[in-house]
Structure 1
Amino acid sequence: MTDAFSSNSEAVLQRSVNVSTIAAGSYGGHLVELYQIVETCHFVTSHQFKKVTLQFPDKLLCDAVPVSAEIEKETKAKIFVLGDTFCCVDEVAAEHVGADCIMHYGASCLCPSRRLPLLYVFEKRPIDIQQCATAFKELYPDCQINLSNLFSGFLWKFLCDMYANVVVSILKADGADLIQDSFLGSDNLDLHDGVNIKFGRQFCVKEGQSIDDYSMFYIGQEGLTLTNFMMAWNHCAFSTFNPETSTGQMKRYYVIERAKDAGVVGILVGTLGVANYLTIIEQLKDIIHKAGKKSYMFAMGKINVPKLANFLEIDVYVLVACPENSLLDSSEFYRPVVTPFEMELACNNHREWTGVYATDFRDLLPGMSFIALIVNGAC
């Protein structure tokens, strides 16, 4: 007798699903262009990689099957899609399948990776350059203002004759390859200017100036990346242009909370791939102990409210993760979740609030500073 509420189980197992290799993607665009298939295939074939792992964020995971099928067809390499959807590169999972390299798609914290060859692939979405330029001019009528232009090499080329003091950010992934605008050459870089490297971005600011002397124009949707920049460069005025809505606006970030005193601290390990994460964990354990507190360490993958609610003896958590994942909204959590910087402010009497916020825990390590690195030399 057939159950009216279910189909035959064998029919489900034998059912075939037709997947068109390259069609319209999650944003309605052509996947070959959106995911830069030609460039990624060249990366694989030029290095003769045989096993390739692809890592997608949650919102792009729906395109993983057609993208991997096209790359496999063009390169003859064996393709694996990683289950980890964090912005940090999961080199450990890639090594489990004996991968020769990793290709990371979408937004990334651009933290250094060391174990495997790595290629960052950013979505090449369409943008209305004319509307972006119009918004830029409305937000910055003064053509002499110092401006740092995030993610917008094309805009610099469009406005460079009018604005003399615009500096373009160039992606600089330590230990990795990446695909970015090829026309951004030495014309935008003055070899006598200061090289400013922060969060995987490189700026060549004018000689005698720092990044704090510039305003920031950010192109992209609001999210953790923008929040991270605004907290780290909180002396800079920010404005944004959203390509989805074609709107520009000024932004401010007012509130930076300090870590509260606590008797028992939970150290949340939110990364296994960011360089020096073990060092900052030991440093946190040391300052927590010297402040007369107890600490416990937790490694639990993706953090959520039910997981942390199981440990009622913990007064506050400190999250060790990449700069973007460190900025966790803990308003719904039973206990607050703070960054390593906030925990050091609470525990270390030698750390004083100066108005500069460090979202990258590596800035807390000995020999580092809380401001962007300014060095002299060629870009």
Structure 2
Amino acid sequence: MTNYQFKIEKIIDQIKSKEAKVVGLQFPEGLKIYATDLAREIEEQTDTLVLISGDPCYGACDLSDKEMEGLADLLIHFGHTPLPIDQKIPTIFIEANYQLESMKILKEALQHLDGKKKIGLVTTTQHLHLLEDAEHLLEENGKIVIMRAGTGTLKGQVLGCNFSSVQDLPVDAFLYLGSGNFHPLGIKLSTKKTVIIADPYLNQVRNIDEFADKILRIRFARITRASEAERFGILISSKEGQSRWELAKTLKKMISKEGKEAYLILLDEINPPSLMPFMNLDAFVVTACPRIAVDDSKMYDKPILTPQELEIVLGVRDWENYEMDEIKY
């Protein structure tokens, strides 16, 4: 039995109304285990053939519409809300809401918010439906809850590459409902405010400060090492939702202005094997998903920088003005 709602009735209705003959299914990594069950259910209830995308999926920025064009009539993308990017085939987004068994984790989080009156409540796509109940619980305990939509995000929603919903929010602290550390890290670095995580998967409440300090030390070491680099590779994603071609060209000019070499490299998947042919370069700058440089840095032998970190290397930005990279949609 799963804690996720896949809205199978809605999916079946959409397939029938669009008279789709071949339906593509795409899932983020954590939801792929449900792919074959959903495919079987769809094929049993409709006269369609289901095609499952087995490639990695990092978000709504990483649709398999291009790969399925000419194969599928309709793409069902699970786990994310749509971004303002063009789609090659009709695409339906299913949030795959996570069902929280109780609000106990939020009640525990309140103990970490003593002395904090105005609370920014934030989460990711899978938990957006829980925000209203969470807001009521916080207000019943004397908190003032402040939420807003961002550029390309819904009210109270953050993405791994978009923290516009929390920037300049007049709050004393943030309460993040969800798993992992990357999103809370982005909130912390974007706002410099206290960030408390209520993690329903680990059934754990924690402050992001210790993790943020650890990551900043790692990033400082990468920047320091890259300051000696003379030859840079600028990595550009072929994924439409992650492609920042104009930024890549700007970074190349910035590097060349300092008398260093820069090479533009286009990739669909950015990982250690894909960079092996370019190990004659000293460092790389990622213009694709910001998580590649921060989350995966230990996987690479050479420094992998964000565009803002390159600015620090080149003396264009001070370390004290460090900030997370974001993709503006």
Q: What range is the shorter-chain TM-score in? A: 0.7 to 0.9
Residue 243 of structure 1 aligns with which residue?
200
After TM superposition, give the deviation of residue 317 of structure 1 in Å: 0.9
Give the secondary structure class of the aligned counterpart of 1:210.
Answer: coil
Q: How far did residue 47 of structure 1 move?
A: 4.7
> C-alpha deviations, 1:3-56, integer Å up to 9, x for none?
xxxxxxxxxxxxxxxxxxxxxxxxx427xx532222333444455544432112
Alpha-carbon distance, 1:196 to partner = 9.8
Post-superposition shift, 1:331? 2.6
1:64 aligned onto 2:35: yes
User: What residue in structure 1 maps to residue 180 of structure 2?
Assistant: 222
Following superposition, the deviation at residue 269 of structure 1 comes to: 2.7
Task: Provide the rounded CA distance (Å) in 2 between the counterparts of 1:270 and 1:101.
Answer: 24
Contact 1:224 1:325 in 2 (8 A): no
Residue of 327, 343, 351 corresponding to 2:294: 327
Tell me the equivalent position of 2:67: 93
Alpha-carbon displacement from aligned partner over 1:98-134 (angstroms, at most 9, x marks no partner): x34432223x596542124433333333324331232
Count of residue correspondences: 308
> CA-atom RMSD, angstroms?
3.5
CA pair 126-361 structure 1, distance change in 2 beyond 3 A: closer
Instruction: Give the partner amino acid of 1:343.
Output: L
- After TM superposition, the structure 1 = structure 2 runs for residues 93-242 of structure 1, keeping only pairs within 5 Å, are 93-97=67-71, 99-106=72-79, 108=80, 111-115=83-87, 116-142=89-115, 144-150=117-123, 151=127, 152-153=130-131, 154-168=133-147, 199=161, 203=165, 210-211=168-169, 213-231=171-189, 233-242=190-199
Q: Residue 265 of structure 1 corresponds to which residue in structure 2?
A: 232
The code of the aligned residue for 2:140 comes to: D
- The two structures have a TM-score, normalised by structure 1, of 0.68
Aligned to 2:11: 40
Contact 1:326 1:339 in 2 (8 A): yes
3-state SS, counterpart of residue 360 of structure 1: coil
1:299–1:41 CA distance, 2 compared to 1 (3 A): same
Runs of 5+ consecutive residues of structure 2 not aligned to the other structure: none
CA distance in 2, matches of 1:283, 1:341: 12
Structure number, greater radius of gyration: 1
CA offset at residue 214 of structure 1? 4.3
- What's the offset of the Cα at 1:166? 0.9
2:244 is matched with which residue? 277
Matched residue, 1:17: none
Q: Does 1:357 align with 2:320?
A: no
Structure 1: give runs of 5+ residues left out of the alignment. 1-27, 175-179, 181-188, 190-194, 364-379
Q: Does 1:296 align with 2:263?
A: yes
The residue identity in structure 1 corresponding to 2:185 is: T
Evaluate the alpha carbon distance shift between residue 142 and residue 128 of structure 1 in structure 2; reply closer, same or farther with a 3 A threshold: farther
